[in-house]
């Protein structure tokens, strides 16, 4: 009888503790964001860019975002454009809020070189980010990253025939909801 009383007491306590926890919905794990930035072409091909992007995906206490994103990268000194489509993973690798986080993007980029050549190539962008402001429903941040765009111009366009991939240093500022 004593064991039955202890069992009922433990079950009642567990049920009341469970009822006190806020219920999580699927929307609590949905994240989306937008960012603007720029990249400097370190491979000296005159392809520095102004960038705008957006993404969405899954979040929890450990993962800031795991999802997909896209962007528009407009070259400043010529009429070339790049449209990256990538998978994104961002985390501070801690379950508590952190000032610093890692950002990894990998996918493909649709390049429009000049107004003549179109191609699909590899896109990689590992980076490190810093949270600027955090609220209950948002985080603003700045990311410093390396960008590799596999652009090749082997005779497709005589003006850019020496381009053998773009190596860029990139700065992005954005917000995640």
Structural domains in the chain, CATH included, are 44-176 (2.40.160)
Instruction: For residues 3-32, give the mean pLDDT.
Output: 62
Residue 57: name the closest of 33, 31, 35 by CA: 31
pLDDT (tens digit per residue) in 118-144: 889 999 999 999 999 988 889 999 999
Report how far residue 145's alpha carbon sits from residue 122's, in angstroms, rounded to the nearest whole number: 16
- What pTM did the predictor assign? 0.79
Do the Cβ atoms of 174 and 151 come closer than 8 Å?
no
Instruction: For residues 38-53, give the mean pLDDT.
Output: 92
pLDDT (tens digit per residue) in 73-99: 999 988 889 999 999 999 999 888 889
Q: To the nearest whole percent, how much of the chain has pLDDT over 70?
A: 79
């Amino acid at each position: 009888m004593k064991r039955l009383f202890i069992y009922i007491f433990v079950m009642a306590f567990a049920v009341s503790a469970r009822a006190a926890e806020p219920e999580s919905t699927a929307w609590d794990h949905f994240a989306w964001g937008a960012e603007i930035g720029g990249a400097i072409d370190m491979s000296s091909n005159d392809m520095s860019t102004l960038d705008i992007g957006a993404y969405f995906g899954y979040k929890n206490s450990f993962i800031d975002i795991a999802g997909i994103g896209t962007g528009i990268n407009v070259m400043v000194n010529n009429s070339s454009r790049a449209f990256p489509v990538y998978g994104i993973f961002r985390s501070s690798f801690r379950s508590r809020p952190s000032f610093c986080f890692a950002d990894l993007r990998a996918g493909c980029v649709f390049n429009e070189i000049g107004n003549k050549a179109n191609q699909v190539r590899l896109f990689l962008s590992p980076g490190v980010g810093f949270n600027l402001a955090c609220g209950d429903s948002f985080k603003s941040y700045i990311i410093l990253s390396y960008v590799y765009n596999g652009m090749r111009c082997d005779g497709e366009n005589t003006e850019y025939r020496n381009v053998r991939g773009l190596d860029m240093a990139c700065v992005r500022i954005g917000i995640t909801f």
